[in-house]
Amino acid sequence: MANWGRALAGVMAVSLVVSVVVLNGPAPRAATPSGRNEVVFWHFWGGEDRLVVERLIARFNEAQSEYFVRGVAMPGNNFDLKVFLAVAGGNPPDLINHDDPIVGDWAARGVIQPLRAVATPAELETLRTDLVPAAQRLGDYQGEPFALCNGLDIRALYYNATLLRERGIQPPQTLTELDQLAETITPPSAERASRYGFLPDARRLWAWAPVFGGGFRTNDQGEAVVDTEENVRALEWMMSYRLRYGADNLAAFRQADQSLPGKTFPLLNDRYAVMMDGQWRIRDLRAAQASQRERNLPVIEYGVMPLPPPKNGLPNAGWVNGNIFVVPTGAKQPHGAWAFMRFWLGMGSFTDAAAQICEEGGWIPTLRSTQKSPRFLTYLKREPLFETFVQLAASDHQFPVPVVPGAAFWQREMERVGEQSLGASETRSAQTLLREAEERINAHLLRQRKALRS
Amino acid sequence: MNRHAWAAQTSATLLALLFLSPLVLQVVSSFKTRAELREGNQHFFPSRVSWENYREVASRTEFRQQFRNSLILCFGTVTGTLISSSLAAYGFARVRWRARKWLFGLLVATMLLPWQVTMIPRFLLLRQLGLYDSLAALILPAFLGDAFAIFLLTQFMRSLPEELSEAGRLDGLSEFGIYWHIVLPLCRPALLTVALFQFTTTWNDLGGPMLYLSSPEKFPLSYGLEQFTSSYADQTHLLLAATVLFGLPIVVLVVVMQRFFQSGFTAKPLM
């Protein structure tokens, strides 16, 4: 027993010394080159994209001699809290790249700086003319740019071109044609269908409302406007699929989508003929085709088209979100952060570098000049599916979640309305669902405003 | 074996298999190629067993570094918890002093507090101490005791016969001598249980490192797993292999220490 005690004491003593003395010292890291200012950059990128971002940072660090960007990938878990504590504690990063609708909340709370603090008036004017409208909408809070959008997420309809050709169906140009396609591939009488022609995504009323000429905005009093005639029609159209196929059938089918590993694209599993998704799915399609070629299987062809509008609807419309740069209040190297933002977006002489970034990541440039650069146009010729997304990104009919404090709540509420509209137990009309959502959102926005005033 | 025992064993086996199935699926899928995973769960087994995913994960310098950081964190917090909590428990269980019952109740009540409640003041305190972005920020608090560990050890120490301490006093041992030479060795099952709990808690913790650390080279393995996920394109094939490696130390530890783990809760020493 005494031996055991001595051994335990030894282990504890050694580990105490190791824990307190040795581990408190700095861990080895690549040193910032002398004479250069370190720019700490927190970002959300993971998976393959992180490797692209790391290469991009390395290229920036090689391209100039004033700053040295140190990228830190930060998972979403507790990220907002970490930023808030870092700002309050006086130790924020110099630049953050985020992909959530945080601009309104963070700007209203003084967590981030307006871009005029880092950019010259001439540079801001360049952004006004060169940024596509959707990117401007994502970064402006109360008419002032607080964030710089460095990538847009655009939704379009992917379709299985091989399947449509076999069935003698043309890609739909109007909403009526889309509905007809859905019924042709999967008749309403089908029980436990293994494939649907098309199903509206419950989360994407955000995308369909602008297609119907509606959308979500705030009025002059800062109140949410949700219950409009166009939005009601969009939601009624989504509900029509529940009535057509039965809510239980849809729920069972969608449940099976969830069993696919990771973020597998259901179009690849032949579960849909047409489905909505973003531009990042192109690399999944290309990888699947490469795998089919490798195994000497027939290669399935795919196409992309804008969301088809109804009569009197808006063409090239939809919901946009994206990746945004923000400079936290108290950043020690805000101008270094701005230099890196300019490099990423392709401002000034960096157009070609930015085109290369977008090509490697499969990202949509937010500057028109980068979109039209020879390098990017060459890429679009090689990847025609991407071209549709770039055209949509330039459209004036792409709308984000309104940039207000409480935007995340608003986004979730509309997704909830979509879920309710397709749910089996829902008996309320589309208008009632929207009106109730509007009340909840306005109550939340009011609480936000009161909290900010206090 | 009678019919009831047979039925109980069969039910238990089936239940165990049910609980084991996600783990089996995870291990089997970790050998699949990216293309196989992308095509969905059409086949349960991979077309061929390939260690490529594991090789790629293990070859990443950052993965090895994060593995090391996780071990350091676990080692430090287990040591800290064992020292501080056993001392505090001894005070509550074996030393008579005023207000000890009241303070023990207060300590137990702190177990009801969610971590988030103390997160911000703790962050500010550690930053003022200059420990922000150091592994010590996650290790040092363990040297200040853990309510659950103190509770568990106190209950265990209370069950030891008082005569043992009396005998120690007659032999001239100090209070610390009784703690060190008599009580602590008898508490081995409970200490190992506490160690196991602390190890798994620290090993799985992501919130703490995310809050107190900023330098990638100091992040633990729980953070490393997040690096395989993405809003756009997960590296699911690598993530599966990484999670198997991540879970391995815990599985080994639990299997090895299972006996002590059970007795830590149920044993009545010297009775």
pLDDT in tens, A426-445: 889 999 999 999 999 999 99
Backbone angles phi, psi at A346, to 5 degrees: 95, 30
* Percent of chain A with pLDDT strictly greater than 90: 74
Look at residue B202 and give its three-state secondary structure: helix
Confidence of residue B178 (pLDDT cuts 50, 70, 90): very high
Highest mean pLDDT among A227-231, A281-285, B192-196, B222-226: A227-231
Q: Which of A137, A128, A141, A52 is nearest to A322 (CA)?
A: A137
How many angstroms separate the CA atoms of B269 and B260, rounded? Answer: 13
Q: What pLDDT sits at residue A185?
A: 95
Average pLDDT, stretch B116-142?
90
**pLDDT of residue B118 exceeding 90:** no
A170, A344, A310, A182: which is closest to A234 by C-alpha?
Answer: A310
Judge: A19–B185 Cβ closer than 8 Å, yes or no: no
The secondary structure element, H or E, covering residue A178 is helix A175-185
Report the candidate in A216, A206, A210, A127 with the shortest Cα–Cα distance to residue A404: A216
CB A113 within 8 A of CB A412: no
B261 pLDDT band, cuts 50/70/90, is low
pLDDT in the model for residue B271: 45
Supply the pLDDT for residue A7.
53
What single-letter DSSP state applies at residue A266? G
Report the residue of chain A nearest B239, measured CA to CA: A47
Out of A144-153, A175-184, A344-353, B207-216, pick the least confident.
B207-216
Residue A260 sits at the vertex; the CA angle it makes with A415 and A165, to the nearest 5 degrees, is 90
Would an 8 Å CB–CB cutoff place B239 in contact with chain A? yes
How far apart CA A384 and CA A362 sit, in angstroms, is 12
A2 touches chain B (CB under 8 A): yes
Could you tell me the two tokens for B150? 């103190």
Output the pLDDT for position A22.
47
> pLDDT value at position A75?
77
* Token digits of residue B260: 């002590």
Torsion sign, CA atoms B108, B113, B119, B121: negative
A398 touches A136 (CB < 8 A): no
- Across the strands, what pairs with A71? A41
Q: Which residues of B touch A44 (CB under 8 A)?
A: 231
Q: A243 and chain B: CB distance < 8 Å anywhere?
A: no
**Mean pLDDT, residues B244-259:** 85
Which among A243-257, A362-376, B107-121 has the top mean pLDDT?
A362-376
Min Cα–Cα distance to chain A from B49, Å: 18
| A333 within 8 A of A38, measured Cβ to Cβ | yes
Per-residue pLDDT band for A19 (boundaries 50, 70, 90) equals: very low
Predicted local confidence at residue A269, as pLDDT: 85
A147: its two tokens = 């964030």
pLDDT at residue B40, as a whole number: 63
Please provide the average confidence, as pLDDT, over all residues in chain B. 88
Of A29, A77, A269, the CB nearest to B217: A29
**8 Å CB contact of A287 and B38:** yes
Torsion of CA B54, B58, B63, B68, to 10 degrees: 120
- Convert the pLDDT of each residue in B96-106 to its tens digit: 999 999 999 99
Q: Model confidence at A12, in pLDDT bands (50, 70, 90)?
A: low
For residue B63, what pLDDT band results from cuts at 50, 70 and 90? confident
Q: What is the pTM of this model?
A: 0.84
On chain B, the residues whose CB falls within 8 A of the CB of A75 are 206, 210, 223, 226-227, 229
Question: How much is the average pLDDT of A398-408?
Answer: 96
Structure tokens at B70: 């996780």
Confidence of residue A255 (pLDDT cuts 50, 70, 90): confident
Q: How far is CA B37 from CA B26, B57, B234, B237, in A?
A: 12, 17, 11, 7
Query: For position A38, what pLDDT does the model report?
Result: 95
Kindly tell me if the per-residue pLDDT of B270 is higher than 60: no
The answer to whether the CB atoms of A291 and B127 lie below 8 A apart is: no
**Poorest-pLDDT segment among A258-262, A430-434, B68-72, B250-254:** A258-262
Q: Per-residue pLDDT for A10 more than 50?
A: yes
Can you tell me the distance from the alpha carbon of B143 to that of B84, in angstroms, rounded to the nearest whole number? 5
pLDDT on residue B44 = 80
Q: How far is CA A360 from CA A51, A55, A382, B258, in A?
A: 10, 10, 13, 49
With contacts defined as CB-CB under 8 Å, which chain B residues touch A23? 72, 76, 134-136, 139
Can you list the positions of beta strands (E) in A172-229? 217-218, 224-225
Tokens of A187: 């008749």
Mutation for A interface: B21, B38, B222, B226, most A CBs within 10 A: B38
- Mean residue pLDDT across chain A: 90
Task: Judge whether residue B10 has pLDDT over 50.
Answer: yes
A90: left (phi over 0), alpha (psi -120 to 50) or beta: left
Residue A305's beta-bridge partner residues?
A157
**Would the pLDDT of A91 be above 90?**
no
What's the confidence (pLDDT) of residue A120?
Answer: 96
Q: What percent of chain A has pLDDT over 70?
A: 92
Quickly state the pLDDT bin for A286 (edges 50, 70, 90). very high
Contact A103, A138 (CB under 8 A): yes
* One-letter identity of residue A415: E
**Interface list for B 199-218 with A (CB within 8 A):** 206-207, 210-211, 214-218
- The pLDDT value recorded for residue B48 is 80
What digits encode the pLDDT tens for the residues B154-166?
999 999 999 999 9
